[in-house]
Chain A
Amino acid sequence: MKKIKMNINSIGMWIVLVTIVGLVAFSGCTDQEEIDTEKTDTEKIEIEQKLVIAEPWGISGVDPAKEGGTLNNFLVLDTLTVMEPDFSLVPGLAKSWELIDNTTWRIYLKDNIKFHDNTGLTADDVTYSFERNMEINPTIRRDLGIKSIEKIDDYTIDITTEKPDAAIPAALSYAKAVIYSKNSVESNGIIIKPIGTGPFKFEKYNKATDILELSKYEDHWNGAPKLDTVLIQGGVGEASTRELAIEKGEVDFTTEPPLGSTEILKGNPEFNVMIHPLCQGYKLNFGNLSKAPYDDIKVRKAIAYAVDKESIVEHILYERGEISNGMGFVPGIEWRNNDLTGYPYDPQKSKQLLKEAGWEDTDNDGILDKDGKAFKMTLYTWPQRPALPPLAETVQSQFKEIGIDAEVRIMDWSAIKEHLNEWGAIRVSGGSTCMRIPDPSYYLERHFYSEGTSNSYGYKNEEVDLLLDEGRSTFDKEKRYDIYREVQEIVVADVADVYIAYHNLAVVTKSSVKGYVPNPSAHDYRINPDIYIEK
C-alpha cells in the first residue's frame, strides 16, 4: 500500500517536471497565423465573408512563371482570354483579337484594367510577362506556339507564330500565360508578391505553414468579388484529413474526400457535395503499338471490349466518373465527336476477336496462347491517384475472363516508363487533362500526333498526322469541327488507347457557402467572384 502511494508520488513528480519543461518549450512558439475555427465566426453578428480552403497539393511558390496555375485558379492573375465552364472561349484581359496575316494575331487589350497596385495594364506588362514566363520555362513557348510578341501601341500587341496557328486565341487562356505587373519582380529577378489584375489581391504566402492569403480587390474592372478574404491551406494531401477538416468546420471548401465517403457527405445537410466532370480520365495505354501483341488491331479491340466500364464507374469510382465514348473529351465540349460510342463491354466479342487474331487456349489451362506463347502480361499503375490500383485489379479480373493472365504492378509513375516495352505491358493511367486550353489540338496532338509529346506508345497514322496539321492551320471553325471530329473517329477506330471513364471531381463545401459554380475546364477547380457566405 505504502509502495503504491510512493510510486504515484513519483509519477506525479514526473508529470510536474515534464509539464514545466513542456511549457518552457512551448513558450518559444508564437502563434503566427492559424485558420480560425467556426467559433469565432459565429460570435460575430455579421457574417464574415471569409472562405477557407483545404487544398490537396502544396502551394510551394508564388512565382507565376514557375507555379502550376494556382494564382490563376484563385483569381489573382488573369489571362488574355478565358475558358468558360462550358469550355467556350471568351475575352479576358483582351477585348478582341483578329488575324492580320496567316502567322500574325493582333490582340486588343481592354483599356480600363488596373493592377492591384493601381497602375494601369498596358501592352508593356503583357509582353514583359510573356517574355519572362517563356524565358524561365521554355516549354511555355512551345506549348503556346508563339514565335515572338510585340507591342504595337499601349493597348495593342501582335503575336507571330512559326506556322499558321488557329489555336492562338485559345492558347492565351493557358494558366501559365498569366499577366502580372513588372512591379512584382524583385531586384534579384524573383517574384515573392505577385501583382495581378484579378478579383483577389495577393496578401501573403506563409511558407512555414503553407497558407496563402488573398483579399478582395475593390477596384476590379468587373466589380469587386463578394468574399473579403480567401485563405488557402496548401498541402492537405490526405483525403481523410480533408474530410475531417470540413466535418469539423475548420475549412469551408475542399475537394476530393475519400472515394468511399461521397455518399455519407451527400446525406449530410450541413454540406454541399458537387460532383462535376473534369476534362480528365482513366484509360489503358498500350505499352508499344508497333510490337506484338498490340500491333494487331484485333487484339487491341478485344482488350477494349473486355473492360466492363459500367462496373468500374459504379464500384471503383463510386459514381465519381462517367463512361467514356472512347475519347478523352467530356460531354459538353463543342469539339467532341458525339457520334462515337466507344467499345461497350462485350466479353464474347472480345474472345471472338482474339480467336480471329490466332489466340486460342490450346492447352486448356485457361490462358490463351499463340505459337506456344501464353498471353501473360503486366498492368502497370501508380498509387498517387487512389482509384488506380483497384481499377487495375478490376481490369485484371476482367482480362482473366477472356483468357489473358495479367499481373498488376504498382510503382512510382516515373519508374513505369522503363517497363512499357515488355511484352504485352499496359499502363493503367489517370489524370491527363484534355483541355488545358479550349482547343482540341492540345489533347489530340499530344496523344495522337506521331511525334506528340505524350505519344509514348508509338501511335502513328499518317492520315491523322495530316488532319492534325490541317486542323491547326485552318482558321474556319466549321472546317475545324469536321477535321477534329474525323481525327477522333479514326483514333477510336484504331484503338490507339482504351479510354475507360472520365474522372469527376468532388467539391465539398459547407452549406453556408453559396454561389460556387463548378468549372470543369479548371485544373482541378477554380473559385469564382460570386462565392459568398450565408448563414
Chain B
Amino acid sequence: MLKSILKRLGIFILVVVGATALVFFMLHYIPGETADVMARYIFIGNIEIEPSSEDVALISQHYELDKPLIIQYVSWLSRSLQGDLGMSYNTGQPVLDEIVIRLPATIKLAVVSVLISLIIGIPLGIVAAIKQNTIIDYICSTGAVIGVSIPNFWLALILIMVFSLYLDLTPVMGSGGVEHIILPSITLGTGMAAVTARLTRSSMLEVIRQDYVRTARGKGLAEKTIVVRHAMKNALIPVITIIGLEMGHLLGGTVIVETIFAWPGIGKLLIDAISQRDLPIIQGCVIFITVMYVFVNLIVDISYSIFDPRIRYER
C-alpha cells in the first residue's frame, strides 16, 4: 500500500511538471501577445483599448517576458518547488491565497453535485436494469438521454426561473449560504446523474446474468438481498470510476455554472486568468487541478478494494 502511494507520488510530480510545462508553452502559442494582453488589464483596465508599444515593452521587462521561454519556465519551476507560487500579476496577491479562498466554494459544489448525481443516477440505473425492456426501463433510459443532452446554461436559467422567480424558494445567485448551493448543484448533478444511470444500468445488466447471481437465486435468497448485496456491489465498480473522473472534473471548476450563478469557484478564476494571461495564477490552478485529480483517483483505487476484495494493493 505504502509503496503504491510512493509510486503515485513520483508519478504525480512528473504529471505536475508535465502539465505546467505544457500549459506554459501552449499559452505562448495561443493568439494574442502575452505582454499586450497584460498591458490592457494591468495598465489600462479596459480590454478594448489598445496599449501603446511602450506599455507592452514595460510589461515585458517588468515581468521578464522578454527572456527565453525555457528560462522563464525553469525559474518559475525552481521557485515553486521551494513553495513560492508567486503573486498574481493582476491583483498582486499571493497565488496560494487566491486559490485557497476559492477552495471551499469549489469543493462544496463538487461534492454536493456528485451526491445529487448518485441519489438520482444509481437507483434509476438499478431499477432500469431489473425492469429491463419494460416501460420503466424506457422511461429511465429516455430520461437519461435527455439529461445528458440538456445544456447546463439552459437548465441553470430554467431552474432559476422556476425555483427562484416563480416558487421563490432559492436565491438567484451568490454564494456563502446553504441555499445558494441548491440550484448550481442540481444543474451539474442532473447531467451527471444521466451518465451514472446509464452506466449503472449496463453494468448491472451484465452482473445479473452472472452465474453467482443465478446461484444466489437458486439458494432462494430474497430478491432484495440479491440485488443489494450481490449484484449491486459488483456493478458499482465502473460507476465508482466514472464518479472519480466527474469529481476530478468538478474540482477543476465549472465555468458556465459558476458564471451564471456568480459562484466564485476555481473554474472562473482559471478562465479569467487565461484571458488575462495571469501566468502565476494559471500555473497555480493547473497544479491544484492535477493534485485534485491524482487525489481523487487514489481514493477511487482504494475504494475498489472495498467493493471487490479481489483487488488488493499489496505488491
Interfacial residues, chain A to chain B (CB-CB below 8 A):
2-3, 6-7, 9-11, 14-15, 18, 21-22, 25-26, 29, 31-35, 37, 54, 58, 60-61, 63, 66-69, 137-139, 142, 176, 190, 207-211, 233, 235-238, 240-241, 244-245, 247-248, 250, 384-385, 411-415, 417-418, 429-433, 446, 453-454, 456, 523
CB within 8 Å for A414 and B111 given contacts A68-B45, A241-B160: no
Within 8 A of A (CB), among B195-230: 222-224, 227-228
Q: Which stretch (B77-85, B258-266, B287-295) binds chain A?
A: B258-266
Within 8 A of A (CB), among B67-115: 90-93, 98, 101-102, 104-105, 108, 111-112, 115
> Which of the residues A15, A139, A430, A431 comes within 8 Å of B119, measured between beta carbons?
A15
- CB neighbours of A236 from chain B (8 A): 173, 262
- Say whether B228 contacts A60, CB under 8 Å: no
- Say whether A235 contacts B264, CB under 8 Å: yes
What separation, in Å, do the CA atoms of A50 and B67 have in the docked complex?
A: 51
What separation, in Å, do the CA atoms of A235 and B268 have in the docked complex?
A: 10
Check if B10 is an interface residue, CB within 8 A of chain A. no
What separation, in Å, do the CA atoms of A433 and B48 have in the docked complex?
A: 9
What separation, in Å, do the CA atoms of A210 and B261 have in the docked complex?
A: 12
- Say whether B43 contacts A34, CB under 8 Å: no
Check if B51 is an interface residue, CB within 8 A of chain A. yes
Which applies to chain B's interface (DSSP): helix, strand, loop or mixed? Answer: helix
CB within 8 Å for A453 and B177 given contacts A61-B92, A240-B157, A248-B168: no
- CB neighbours of B181 from chain A (8 A): 29
- CB neighbours of B272 from chain A (8 A): 58
Check if B52 is an interface residue, CB within 8 A of chain A. yes
- CB neighbours of B299 from chain A (8 A): none
- CB neighbours of A211 from chain B (8 A): 174
CB within 8 Å for A417 and B160 given contacts A32-B176, A37-B171: no
What's the nearest-Cβ distance from chain A to residue B283, in Å?
Answer: 18
Check if B17 is an interface residue, CB within 8 A of chain A. no
What separation, in Å, do the CA atoms of A7 and B275 have in the docked complex?
A: 50
- Say whether B92 contacts A190, CB under 8 Å: yes
Check if B123 is an interface residue, CB within 8 A of chain A. yes
What separation, in Å, do the CA atoms of A411 and B31 have in the docked complex?
A: 10
- Say whether B157 contacts A60, CB under 8 Å: no
- Per-residue CB contact flags for chain B residues 126-156 toward chain A (1 = under 8 Å, else 0) read 1100100000000000000000000000000
Count CB-based A-B contacts (< 8 Å): 192
What separation, in Å, do the CA atoms of A170 and B222 have in the docked complex?
A: 86
What separation, in Å, do the CA atoms of A138 and B54 have in the docked complex?
A: 10
Chain B, residue nearest A235 (CB): B262
Chain A, residue nearest B136 (CB): A4
Interface pairs (16), CB distance under 8 Å: A34-B180, A54-B173, A66-B91, A138-B43, A139-B58, A208-B176, A209-B175, A235-B264, A241-B260, A245-B173, A248-B165, A250-B173, A412-B31, A417-B32, A417-B33, A432-B49
- CB neighbours of B91 from chain A (8 A): 60-61, 63, 66
Check if B118 is an interface residue, CB within 8 A of chain A. yes
Chain A, residue nearest B40 (CB): A414
Which 5 residue pairs across A and B have the least CB separation, nearest first? A414-B32, A68-B45, A415-B31, A431-B48, A453-B52
Extra pairs beyond A10-B228, A61-B93, A453-B49 (20, CB < 8 Å): A6-B227, A14-B118, A14-B122, A25-B112, A29-B108, A67-B45, A68-B46, A69-B45, A137-B43, A238-B259, A241-B172, A241-B261, A247-B165, A248-B168, A250-B173, A412-B31, A414-B40, A415-B31, A431-B46, A433-B49
